[in-house]
Structure 1
Amino acid sequence: MRKHLRERARDRGQAAIEYLGFLPILLIVGLAGLQLGIAAYAAQQAGTAARAAARAATTDEENAPDCETAGHAAVSSWVDPAIGGCEGGGEAAVITVRVEIPSVLPFWEFDPIVKTATMPKPQDQEGP
Structure 2
Amino acid sequence: MRCLLVLPLLLAAALAAVPPLLGPTLPPGTELRLLSADLRTLHGAWRVEGRRLLPLSPPLAPKAGQEVQLLLVLPGEKPRAFPGMAERGDVFLPWEKEQVSLLRLLKEVYGLAPPERLWP
What TM-score, normalized by structure 2, do the two folds share? Answer: 0.28
Under a length normalisation based on structure 1, what TM-score does the superposition of the two structures give? 0.27
Name the structure where strand makes up a greater proportion of residues: 2
**Of Structure 1 and Structure 2, which has the larger fraction of its residues in helix?**
1
Q: Which has the higher contact order (CA 8 A, sep 6+)?
A: 1
